[in-house]
Each structure stands twice: as structure tokens, then as C-alpha cells.
A and B are shown apart, each in its own frame.
Chain A
Amino acid sequence: MRWLISTDGTERSERAAGFAGQFLRFGEDQAILLGILSDENQESVEHSMNAITGQITKALVKRTTRREPISEAIEAEAQAEQVDVAVYGSRGRHGITSLLLGSVAARLAHDSACSVLIVRDQPPPVTRILVCISLSPRRQATIEMTGKLAQATGAEVVALHVMSQLPITDTASTSPLTMTAEQAISGGTVEGKALQETVEQLAAMGITARPLIRHGLVLDETLDEVESGSYGLMVIGAHAPLKNIPWSAWLMEDVARDILLNTRCPLMIV
């Protein structure tokens, strides 16, 4: 995989780079280091790039700088270098501040053509990854990415599917709405099959994965799981418009953005 690691000279950029460093596999991954310059930060960017170079030497293939707003610089470089993952150390604005000032992380997550790894705080080494599974065929990319990250760190994976459905007809069966992952798999429900495929796909990559179903609102259950499960990384699919539905990007809820704005856990948006 090709990684784009960027720094604007801040401490959080270095933290993010250090965090991303644990996923870089010598000989398999390539890293591009991007310094994002402004009028005030030239010295700190240079200093930060040197520090990060020390952390990712084994995979570093290019060092470059751009003088553009952060999200534009990352997007342009990611596109030019055809990277698979862009890493960003987020300040962690949310709520009103994010509405007023905008969130670079949210913009990247929404607009970027590649996957985005958002890191806040000082995360511990990754030993456990939470991957959120939808029933869409697009989940394959999310599972594949999770597999690669788990391979690099030796982390175990929990595959989560949240069921927020309610019965709308009086003939609808409610049992799938209360099933555990194990019951759903043995009962062969749609959710059970998706989780079983996920576990098998990850097992084929040599990774131990445990399926999990939670029932409730998608956002609440996902955040609750990541808060309570001591995860080092969460992997989710991006909010992407559906081809057959016009205006779907506007009609659909952006769960990826909502999760991003409400969690401190490092987040990979595929």
C-alpha cells in the first residue's frame, strides 16, 4: 500500500505519523512524507519532517512540500501519488466549533478519493481493531483494509454489525432483531452470513476475528462499542453516494462523519 503521511509542523501530525508507522511493512508499503507549509510554520515543518523521517525510514520513498490549505494539499498529493491511505493528525473539533470552523478531518473523509486515517490524542499501540460491517457489497474493501492493518500489527479484530431495524408489518419475525452474532450465523440470517464471510475472509489472511451484533441506533451502538471495548483502531466504510440513487449523497445520513466527530479512537475511513 502507498501511504501519504502529512505534517503541518504540529505535535499532533507527528503523533499521527508515529501511529501510522506501526502499519508500514518493509518491502510491502511505501510512504510519502508531505510537509504542508504556511507563512509561519516553515521551521517547524522542517523539524517535524525530520522527526517523522526517523520513524518511517524503512518505507519512506519521497519527501515533498506543498503551500496550500491542509485538506487541499493532502488531496492533491494523494491524487498525484495515487496513494491508498492518507494520514492526518486531527485537532478533534466537534459540535458547534466544527460547524463554524469546519473540520479538516471531516472534509478529507468526505472528499478524499483514497482511504483516510484520522488520529487524535496519543493512541497506544494497536492490539484490537473494530471493523464496522454493513450489508453492502462495498464492505469487501473495508474488510480487506482491516486485514492488512491487522496483519501489520498482529491485532485481533472484532467485526461489528449494528441492526437498527424495527418490524413494520405484524407478520415480520422479531427473532433476527434480538439475535446475537453467533445465533445469526447459525440461523443463516442475512447479517449472520455477512459476518461469517467477514470472519472467514480475515481468517484466510491469518487474522483472528470475532463477530458481534448490536441492536439499536447505528451511531449510538457503534460509539458505545468503541468506547467500551478498548480498541486501538476503528475501521469503517466511507459515506459514498449510491450509483442508482440520484442525490443520494445529500439524502443519506453521513454516519462516517458522525462517528469521526464523536470518537477519540483512531479511525480509518475506507
Chain B
Amino acid sequence: MRPNLLKRLTPQMLGKVALFVFALFVFTFALVLLKEGAKEFGPFVRNFLDVNNVANALGFGWLFAYAVMSGSPVAAITLTLLDANALNHAEAFAMINGSRLGASFIVLFIGFVYTLRGRERKASMSTGLLSLIVTQTTYIPALFLGLWLLRMGWLDALQLTQASEVSSVFDLIFDPITGFLLGWLPRWVIFGMGFLALLFSFSLLDRSLPKVNLEETGFSGMARILYRPFFTFLLGAIVTTFTMSVSLSVSILVPLSVRGYIRRENIIPYVMGANITTFVDTLIAAVLLGNPGAFTVVLVEMLSVALISLLIIGLAYSPYERWILGVVNRLLNRPILLAWYMFGIVGIPIVLMLF
């Protein structure tokens, strides 16, 4: 490292780096625990919860994300279930897809709570509802495209694996710990510990990631300038590569607007881009698990969402934009429609679980 670069490293930055390394360590440990625990949790999911086809895997991922109010932990757990052969590739793909559909609900739910507390419905729910509908309208077609891509197997050969030295170090550290725990605790408890460790690792990751600052970039005028959809799409994808969370990426836009507004034209492609790279942590989990099938599933998920989003942006962006905004407007202006919509997005995954 050059001396001038060393000088620029502040203690705060070094602290962030250390926290990030620690977060990755906890994340990896959580995956190891989940992998071991999944050997018992897997049959429970398959036999007791009856998750044994694409439809109910989708519903299960969707509801699971509602329960934990986030998609990333559900996606990581899905990969460990795939690794334990509790799910096949198509079911894992559908469950991860469902986890994203469920993850967007939290923004809407928070807005709904604000509304109950007397805030204006439009102020509280507009962006959340918009994000949710953009996610639904891209992920549902992406589900069918992805299942087809998985069946074709075109992406199976494309793999990213961790270096054998790295996996040896991980084995050296984690094997004795898991061996000790397995001697004392049942696997379902280990799965639970893994789950808690996973949530803890995500909270550490949130705190360790660098603060993305758009104020000094060409996108500082987000609130008043109309950007081309393709560029805001790319921006959403790039920002989310660092934040790993769609809601965090959207919150990064807040300082750009003094009055707390954003242009309708800019938010839709931004969310579309964010919806792709939000899988970066799941992709890392797949590499850490060392399961080629898991990597393919996540890659297909990212690729199919990206293809659907690019098709919309390239071929039918204006009608899509008008349609989305029309739906959001109608839902916000008619409480009965909003109630039916919310009832639907809770009811549909429950119905899917019955298949």
C-alpha cells in the first residue's frame, strides 16, 4: 500500500473495514450453522410444511420474508435448504423469488402504520407502494423466465468458486465449533442459532458498508431533473451493489431533495436496477456454500430480473410507467381498493402454500 493512501485511511474507515470483515465472518459462520441445521430443518420444510413444488416454495419464501421483514435472510436460508437437498433448483429459485416479493412489503407496511397514526396516506405510502408494484411486475414474469432458463441449463457452466485456500481456512475455523455444537445440541437448535447469526450479520453489514453519497455526483439533481430511465436503472443497480438493500438504496435519495420529493420519472427505473443487485449478498452466500447449483439459481434470478427490466425499459417504458403510476394513484385514492390489494398480497402466498 502506498504511503499517501495509508495517510488517507482514518480510524473511522479502518473501523468500518474491521466491522465488514467481522460481518463477513459472522455471515459465513451463520451459513455453516444453517447448512448443518438444514439437514434436519429441510425434512421439516418438505414434509411438515409440505413445501414440495414451485408454487408452494414461492408462497413459503414470500410469507417467510413477511415474517422476518426482509428478503435477504430468507434467500440465504433457501440456499442452505438447496444444499441440504430439501429443495430442488426450481423450488429454491421460486422461494428466493418469493422472498423478494415479501421483502418489499415492509416499506408499504411501515407506510400503512404511519397512516394509522394520522399521517397523510400519500406521503407515507407512495414510494413504498410504487416499489412494491415495480417489484411484483418484474419478479413475477422473471419467475417464469428464470424457471425456463434453469430447465435449459445454459448457465450451469458459469461458476464462481471461492479459492481452496479460503475454504480450507474456513473449515479450519468452523469445523471444530460446529463439531462441538453438534455433539451437544440437536440440529434444529443449530439451525435457529444460524438464523439468529445470519440476522446479526446483516445488521453488522448494514453498519459496515460505506455511506454512498450521491450529492456530489451528476445525480444530485434527482429531485428536479429528468434523467433517462436507463441511467437511473444503472444508478439503482450500482448503489444497491454497495448497500445490498433496495429500501436503503431508496433512502440514499432522500438527502438529494430538500422537500423530500423525487420525480416519478426517476424512481421507477431506479427501483428496477436496485432489484437486481440486491441479490449480491445471496450470490456471496452461494459462493461461500460452495454449491454450484446454488450459484446458478442466484445467477439465473439476477439475470431473469435484469432481462425483464431491460425489456420493459427498452420496449415499453412509457406505457409501463403510466400504468404503474395509474395503479398507485387509484390505490392511494380509494381505501377500499388498497385494502383489497393488501388482502391480496397476504392472501396469495397463503393460497400458494396450499398447492
Contact = CB atoms under 8 A, between A and B. Distances in A.
| Binding partners A and B | yes
A251 interface: yes
A73 interface: no
A203 interface: no
Interface residues of A, number: 31
B259 A176 contact: yes
B226 interface: yes
A172 to B, nearest CB: 3
Interface in B252-308: 253-254, 257, 259-265, 267
Contacts of B325: 216-217
B265 A218 contact: yes
Interface residues of B, number: 39
A168 B127 contact: yes
A216 to B, nearest CB: 8
Contacts of A135: 224
Contacts, number: 97
B199 interface: no
Nearest to A245: B218
A261 interface: no
A179 interface: no
A246 B257 contact: no
Interface string B228-257: 110100000000000000000010011001
Contacts of B322: 217, 220
B327 to A, nearest CB: 14
A228 interface: no
Contacts of A152: none
Given A218-B265, A245-B221, A167 B226 contact: no
B226 A218 contact: yes
Contacts of A245: 218, 220-221
A168 to B, nearest CB: 4
Contact of A177 (B122, B229, B254, B257): B122
17 contacts: A164-B263, A165-B259, A166-B126, A166-B261, A167-B127, A168-B257, A171-B260, A173-B120, A173-B123, A177-B122, A177-B261, A216-B264, A218-B265, A219-B318, A250-B228, A253-B226, A255-B226
